[in-house]
């Protein structure tokens, strides 16, 4: 595998492979940048078919974390871990072994939850390293499961997008299709339903789907059809790369704004969305609520109220991106990438000077 030549390689500072025969741990930690601070980003547990696929995901996700943390104004760089494995077979010992791998990096990388990992898993990681966040917390303290915080940011971001593209002051009667109603999607549906939005939802897990239908009066749609739903807003909250050359011509939403990381299969898909007249909320800007919480928890001494106040900064950042994109005839993802790179370059220049 020629890592330096991979399409996903973007000048990453460090890529670490970890193996523990006793627990079966096979993990990759990618540190994209520590220019702004320790590289922070979650740990994904996924049954990757090949090592190359796992490395590509770690590289892509860690770069996304550099941009996400830069845009959220956090003093953290970008990193991500992936564990190759079957979520149903995870053990406390596996996460303890992963914690030892994180500890070995001496604080250059700080881990937390991602797809396939939970607060309980991070508690096991914390048995062997301090460089972990997203742990349990006392009421009123910053931290805990980042999923609900991500959902709050996405909800506020959808409001900002609806105001910008539809001239809507609130979401009463606005139709939203949510793809994936797991840790983030469920809480997003709660916020949207509270404000009177009409929900269409899809998930591969029937029980998760039933729950949001029962609790929020959402209408279930087939997994194969949710991307094409005739709605105002499409909120991808499951997997990455759902916006691609095949799906974009079939979209009927006016806005795409959701939690999933790496929604665009390729950068040029942002242009296809713009040409189709669809407003795209860059994923790493709208879904920063979780890392904002993780960051405050890790530094210590913050309250939940401070986390929530920070998350309320997300809609203004999105509106600035939407306005710049319109003014400069550029895509929203290109504007966001440019702003993130400016902050990284500015800090790098100050460090060198």
Distance CA 47, CA 62 (A): 19
Cβ neighbours of residue 321 closer than 8 Å, sequence gap 6 or more: 282, 285, 332, 335, 336, 339
Q: Does 220 bind ligand NAD (CB under 6 A)?
A: no
What DSSP designation does 249 have?
Answer: G
In the list 85, 99, 180, 315, the residue contacting ligand NAD (rule: CB under 6 A) is: 180
In the list 99, 143, 144, 183, the residue contacting ligand NAD (rule: CB under 6 A) is: 183
Q: How far is the CB of 180 from ligand NAD (least distance, A)?
A: 3
Q: How far is the CB of 353 from ligand NAD (least distance, A)?
A: 34
**39 in Cβ contact with 65 (< 8 Å):** yes
Contact letters (x/-) for ligand NAD, 95-124, by CB under 6 A?
-------------------xx---------
In the list 97, 158, 202, 235, the residue contacting ligand NAD (rule: CB under 6 A) is: 202
Q: How far is the CB of 199 from ligand NAD (least distance, A)?
A: 14
Cα 19–chain centre separation: 26
In the list 96, 121, 203, 269, the residue contacting ligand NAD (rule: CB under 6 A) is: 203
Q: How far is the CB of 257 from ligand NAD (least distance, A)?
A: 12
Q: Does 78 bind ligand NAD (CB under 6 A)?
A: no
Name which of residues 270 to 329 contact ligand NAD (CB under 6 A).
287, 290
Distance CA 80, CA 91 (A): 20
Q: Does 184 bind ligand NAD (CB under 6 A)?
A: yes
Q: Which is nearer to ligand NAD, 120 or 223 (CB)?
A: 223
Nearest residue to 120 via CA among 153, 78, 91: 91
Distance CA 337, CA 198 (A): 32
Q: How far is the CB of 174 from ligand NAD (least distance, A)?
A: 21
Coil/strand/helix, residue 241: coil
Half-sphere exposure of 210 (CA within 13 A, CB side): 3
Only one of the segments 10-18, 29-37, 175-183, 330-338 lies at the binding site for ligand NAD (rule: CB under 6 A); that segment is 175-183
Tokens of 120: 């309980």
- Choose, from 68, 80, 90, 149, the residue flagged as catalytic: 80
Distance CA 104, CA 109 (A): 10
Q: Which is nearer to ligand NAD, 12 or 44 (CB)?
A: 44
> In 145-254, which ranges are E strands?
175-179, 198-202, 219-220, 233-236
CA distances from 322 to 14, 175, 203, 211, 271 (A): 34, 21, 29, 34, 14
Only one of the segments 146-154, 189-197, 271-279, 313-321 lies at the binding site for ligand NAD (rule: CB under 6 A); that segment is 146-154
Q: Does 161 bind ligand NAD (CB under 6 A)?
A: no
Q: Which is nearer to ligand NAD, 101 or 288 (CB)?
A: 288
Distance CA 174, CA 161 (A): 12
Tokens of 241: 């790369």
Q: Does 260 bind ligand NAD (CB under 6 A)?
A: yes
Residues near ligand NAD (CB under 6 A), total: 27
Only one of the segments 27-35, 156-164, 237-245, 271-279 lies at the binding site for ligand NAD (rule: CB under 6 A); that segment is 237-245
Tell me whether residue 90 is one of the annotated catalytic residues: no
**81 in Cβ contact with 44 (< 8 Å):** yes
94 burial level (CB within 10 Å; 0-12, 13-18, 19+): buried
Residues carrying an active site annotation: 80
Binding site for ligand NAD (CB under 6 A): 114-115, 146-147, 150, 179-185, 202-205, 208, 223, 237-240, 259-261, 287, 290
């Amino acid at each position: 595998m020629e890592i330096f030549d991979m399409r996903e390689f973007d000048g990453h500072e460090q890529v670490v492979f970890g193996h523990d025969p006793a627990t079966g741990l096979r993990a990759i930690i990618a540190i994209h940048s520590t220019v702004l601070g320790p590289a922070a980003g979650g740990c994904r547990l996924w049954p990757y078919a090949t090592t190359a696929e796992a490395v590509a995901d770690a590289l892509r996700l860690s770069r996304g974390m550099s941009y996400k943390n830069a845009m959220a104004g956090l003093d953290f760089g970008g990193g991500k871990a992936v564990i190759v494995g079957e979520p149903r077979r995870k053990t406390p010992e596996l996460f303890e072994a992963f914690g030892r791998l994180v500890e070995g990096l001496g604080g250059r990388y700080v881990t937390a939850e991602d797809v396939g990992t939970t607060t309980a898993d991070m508690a096991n990681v914390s048995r062997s390293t301090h460089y972990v966040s997203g742990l349990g917390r006392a009421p009123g303290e910053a931290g805990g499961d980042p999923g609900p915080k991500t959902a709050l940011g996405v909800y506020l971001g959808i409001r900002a997008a609806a105001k910008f593209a539809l001239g809507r002051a609130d979401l009463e009667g606005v139709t939203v299709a949510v793809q994936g109603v797991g840790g983030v999607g469920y809480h997003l549906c709660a916020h949207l339903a509270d404000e009177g939005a009409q929900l269409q939802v899809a998930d591969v897990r029937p029980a998760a789907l039933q729950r949001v239908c029962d609790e929020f009066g959402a209408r279930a749609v087939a997994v194969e059809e949710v991307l094409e739903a005739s709605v105002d807003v499409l909120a991808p909250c499951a997997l990455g790369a759902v916006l691609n050359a095949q799906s974009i011509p079939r979209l009927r939403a006016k806005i795409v704004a959701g939690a999933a990381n790496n929604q665009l299969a390729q950068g040029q898909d942002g242009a296809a969305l713009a040409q189709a007249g669809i407003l795209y909320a860059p994923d790493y800007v709208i879904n920063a609520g979780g890392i904002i919480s993780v960051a405050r928890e890790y530094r210590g001494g913050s309250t939940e109220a401070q986390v929530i106040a920070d998350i309320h900064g997300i809609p203004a950042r999105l509106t600035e991106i939407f306005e710049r994109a319109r003014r400069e005839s550029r895509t929203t993802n290109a504007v966001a990438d440019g702003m993130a790179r400016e902050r990284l370059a500015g800090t790098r220049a100050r460090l060198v000077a």
